[in-house]
Amino acid sequence: MTAEIENNLKDYIKTLSTYTSTEEGVTRVVYSEEDEHAKHYIKQKMFDLQLEITEDEIGNIFGIWKGTNPSLKSFWTGSHIDAPTHGGKYDGVVGVISALEAIHHLKQEGMQPERDIVVVVFAAEEPTKFGIGCLGSKVLTGKVEKEELKNFRDSNGHSLDEILKKAGKKIDEIPYQKLQPERIHSFLELHIEQGPILERKNIDIGIVDVIAAPTEMNVIIYGEQRHAGSTPMDERKDPYPAAAEAALALEELTKSVSSSSVGTIGNISVTPGTSNVIPSHVEFSVDIRDTTTVKKDKIVTCLLEKIRDITSARGLTYSYTIQSNDTPSKMDEQGVEKLKNLCEKLGYKSYVMNSGAYHDAMVLASCVRANLLFVPSYKGISHAPSEHTDIIHLIKGTKVLIDYMKTECFNQA
Ligand SMILES: [Zn+2]
């Protein structure tokens, strides 16, 4: 059985990695030609497995293995197949292909589930196109308003409406809150860790108990544009050193609040951006994540106080906008226990941990019982061409999924 799972998983990874717009790494942005090809390939595989296939108007795909007892709630599993610019072959893909391979394996064993098993491929998990992560799962769970969607534009100024039309879809037909939580038993997502912990500890399977959520802000510090040569140092209102101080303050704060806190300034622009001009203003992004809202809010509040103090001491002004403020998600505790036991029975080393990166499971957890499993990432690298997970770990992840399906979806009487 293992050899066949290994070959099939390798085939999936190899084929999907060819649907890319760049030669270096995998670039598969949602609604692009490559994304449509990859979706077509997955739907073909679902067809081969005789799953009932549907796709909604935002582009989420569902492959359903019908259960024998329609009164039972359905079990959901899956992830995403879009990839960021020069990303890797494994992010998201692993959760989709392991689910399909698990079904293939169970079908070969001649098994028939009692409850429906739904393999879901969420659209636009990566924020590459519209700057918002988990778009597909957020639409499915009613977390994004219809009017909000109409304002979405990509970096070329094309609206979501225009882009969907090209793909033969209509924004007005997007089924808001299509997901019926009362009809769902639970959701389990398998994903690569995207960090170094499992590999470092020599662990096979990470079982996530809480997913950290981001608060994303945009901050502008205003100074006075002057000549860089003729303005004495003590007469300047230079916003850049203030932004640098803010970056150091963020680093200090996240280190002092808790070991799970992280803070990043990933984008900064200096205006007018000329070497011989003191800038008029500096604009930067702030991404703060933690596993509890209390700790995260504390960092946000303290950072804003620091920025207020830094700018006032330097005679500058500032403004900020909070672009998103997601809530950290606790994974289903019962599910965590069940997964721990399954790993033990299979002889796999497991480790309960939190997830610093968000996933569709974070969105689903707001309305259904959700769990998230990790397999190790080579050197912890992800969102990069060298992203890699050893096949042995992919097989182990798939086997845990197979056994979880067996306990949750078969012999429920
Ligand atoms: Zn992912």
Give the tens place of pLDDT for each residue, 358-367: 999 999 999 9
pLDDT digits (tens, 9 = 90+) for 261-301: 999 999 999 999 999 999 999 999 999 999 999 999 999 99
- Rounded to the nearest whole angstrom, what is the distance from the C-alpha of residue 294 to the centroid of ligand 1? 26
User: Can you give the pLDDT at residue 178?
Assistant: 77
- Rounded to the nearest whole angstrom, what is the distance from the C-alpha of residue 234 to the centroid of ligand 1? 49
Q: Residue range 180-189: average pLDDT? A: 96
**Please, which residues bridge with residue 345 across strands?**
none
- Rounded to the nearest whole angstrom, what is the distance from the C-alpha of residue 85 to the centroid of ligand 1? 13
Which residues crowd ion ligand 1, with CB under 5 Å? 91-92
Same fold, 2-212+328-409 and 213-325: no
- Rounded to the nearest whole angstrom, what is the distance from the C-alpha of residue 92 to the centroid of ligand 1? 4
pLDDT digits (tens, 9 = 90+) for 210-223: 999 899 999 999 99
User: Can you give the pLDDT at residue 368?
Assistant: 97
- Rounded to the nearest whole angstrom, what is the distance from the C-alpha of residue 355 to the centroid of ligand 1? 12
- Rounded to the nearest whole angstrom, what is the distance from the C-alpha of residue 192 to the centroid of ligand 1? 8
User: Distance between CA 343 and CA 371 in Å, rounded?
Assistant: 14
Query: Residue 413 above 60 pLDDT?
Result: no
H/E element, 362: helix 360-364
Give residue 169's pLDDT band: very low, low, confident or very high (50, 70, 90): confident
Q: Which of these CATH numbers, 3.20.20.150, 3.40.350.10, 3.40.50.1370, 3.40.630.10, describes 2-212+328-409?
A: 3.40.630.10
Q: Is 302 exposed, middle or buried (0-12, 13-18, 19+ CB in 10 A)?
A: middle
Q: Residue range 8-24: average pLDDT? A: 96
Rounded mean pLDDT of the chain? 94
Q: Residue range 373-399: average pLDDT? A: 97
- Rounded to the nearest whole angstrom, what is the distance from the C-alpha of residue 11 to the centroid of ligand 1? 20
User: Distance between CA 324 and CA 368 in Å, rounded?
Assistant: 22
Query: Residue 177 above 70 pLDDT?
Result: no
User: Can you give the pLDDT at residue 380?
Assistant: 95
User: Can you give the pLDDT at residue 140?
Assistant: 92
- Rounded to the nearest whole angstrom, what is the distance from the C-alpha of residue 255 to the centroid of ligand 1? 26
User: Distance between CA 117 and CA 18 in Å, rounded?
Assistant: 28
User: Can you give the pLDDT at residue 262?
Assistant: 95
User: Can you give the pLDDT at residue 411?
Assistant: 77
- Rounded to the nearest whole angstrom, what is the distance from the C-alpha of residue 230 to the centroid of ligand 1? 51
Q: Where are the domains of the chain?
A: 2-212+328-409, 213-325
Architecture per CATH, domain 213-325, reads as 2-Layer Sandwich (3.30)
- Rounded to the nearest whole angstrom, what is the distance from the C-alpha of residue 159 to the centroid of ligand 1? 24
- Rounded to the nearest whole angstrom, what is the distance from the C-alpha of residue 126 to the centroid of ligand 1? 7
Q: Residue range 183-192: average pLDDT? A: 97
H/E element, 363: helix 360-364
- Rounded to the nearest whole angstrom, what is the distance from the C-alpha of residue 125 to the centroid of ligand 1? 7
Query: Residue 412 above 70 pLDDT?
Result: no
Here the tokens at position 151 are: 């304002």
- Rounded to the nearest whole angstrom, what is the distance from the C-alpha of residue 80 to the centroid of ligand 1? 6
pLDDT digits (tens, 9 = 90+) for 78-108: 999 999 999 999 999 999 999 999 999 999 9
User: Can you give the pLDDT at residue 176?
Assistant: 65
- Rounded to the nearest whole angstrom, what is the distance from the C-alpha of residue 361 to the centroid of ligand 1? 10
Closest CA to 186 of 413, 401, 411: 401
The CA angle 17-18-20, to the nearest 5 degrees, is: 85
Q: Residue range 113-122: average pLDDT? A: 97
Closest CA to 79 of 129, 21, 12: 12
- Rounded to the nearest whole angstrom, what is the distance from the C-alpha of residue 338 to the centroid of ligand 1? 23
